[in-house]
Amino acid sequence: MAYNVYSLPDCRTVLYHPDVGTANLHQCGHGKITISSAGDLTSHTATADGYVVVNKLKSTNGTITLELPQNSLGDWFLRRWANWQKNSQDPSRVALGTLTISDAAGNFSIVCTGVTLQKVPDRVFDRTATNLVYTLLATTITEQ
């Protein structure tokens, strides 16, 4: 009997920016990762005489949400990236980030390019450690 298998530890997640460096998030305890496409693949337009026209749309951009443990190496890397992005004097370099997720169990990968930080996460100070939520934007999200 065959089973479907999913294993987050088998997902390799690498975040890279040429001016900030590389973070292997799978080696620093990444939490949940959500990839959300921003646009639709199709839309329908109803004509006055009752026909429906199907519009094929090309939308490649989207949002990446990373939940990382507070004070982890991933959190440290993204805080450093946020500080670099805030202070960058060359706007043409801001969107040079990439995020690659390789899922060995599912046998596919997702490559996000044109990655930028949308905002720094809210800081939470509590009696126990928590995950911080970083939101990134991508100009192109490709699943292979």
Tokens 């089973």 locate to: 3
CA torsion, points 20, 21, 25, 27, in degrees to nearest 10? -140
| Domain range list for the chain | 8-143
As a whole number, mean pLDDT of residues 39-53 equals 93
Q: pLDDT, tens digit, for every residue of 100-130?
A: 999 887 888 999 999 999 988 888 888 888 8
CATH top class, domain 8-143: mainly beta
pLDDT at 7 (0 to 100): 67
pTM of the model: 0.85
Average pLDDT score over residue span 13-25:
95
Q: Average pLDDT, whole number, for the chain?
A: 90
User: Please, which pLDDT band fits residue 30 given cuts at 50, 70 and 90?
Assistant: confident
Rounded Cα–Cα distance for residues 118 and 92 (Å): 16
